[in-house]
Structure 1
Amino acid sequence: MSDPTRIRAQLGPDGRTTVRVLMSHEMESGQRKEANGRLVPAWHIQLVTVKLNDRPVLSAHWGPSVSKNPFLQFNLRGAKAGDRLAVAWTDNRGASRSDEVLVAG
C-alpha cells in the first residue's frame, strides 16, 4: 500500500477553495530499461477522482507520462469550511488509494 495522499483544501476570501494534492506513487512509464536491458513494466495512476461531500467535482484520466509522486492543484467554488473532500486514485495494476480531508476556513 502506498503512503497516504497529502491533501490541503483552503477556502479563500473570494469564495474559491484551493485544493492541493500530493500522491505517493512510483509512476513507471514502461520505457525505462534496467541494467540488464529489460524494460521496466509500466505502472502508473490511470484515474483520479475528487468528491466534495460525495458529489464528484473532478475526474482525470492519466497516462504513463505523469511524473513520480504527482502533484495536482485546482480551484473549486461552492465549498464551505468543514465540508469533506475525498481524493481517490486507481493505477494500471488495480491498486487504489482513497483519502479525505475537511475544507479549512
Structure 2
Amino acid sequence: MEKQTANDDYARVKEDLQLLREDLASLTKTVTDSQKSSANHLKDEISRETRAVLDQLRKRGDAALARATEAGSQGVESVEHKIEERPFLSIILMFLAGIVVGKMLDR
C-alpha cells in the first residue's frame, strides 16, 4: 500500500513539475512579447520625437536665413542709397580703401 501511495505521490509531483514547466514557458513567452511590444512602441515614439525636433530646427533655420537675407538686402540698399547721394565722395573713399589694402598686402 505504501508503495502505491509513493507511486501516486511521485506521479502527482511529476504532473505538477510538467505544469510548472508549461506555466514558466508561457510566462517567458508573455514577458518576451511584452518587451518586444514595449521596445517597438518606444522606437516609434523616439522616431516621432526626432522628426518633430528636426522639423522645429528646420523652421528656425529657415526663419534665421530669411532674417539674414533681409538684413543683407537692407544693408545693400543702404549702401546703394549713400552712393547715389554722394557719388564723388564714394569714389574717393573706395580709391583710398584700395590704396590702404594694397599697402597692407605689400608687407
TM-score normalised by the chain length of structure 1: 0.15
Considering only CA atoms, is the larger Rg found in Structure 1 or Structure 2?
2
Instruction: Identify the structure with bigger relative contact order (alpha carbons < 8 Å, sequence gap 6+).
Output: 1
Greater share of helix residues, 1 or 2? 2
TM-score normalised by the chain length of structure 2: 0.15
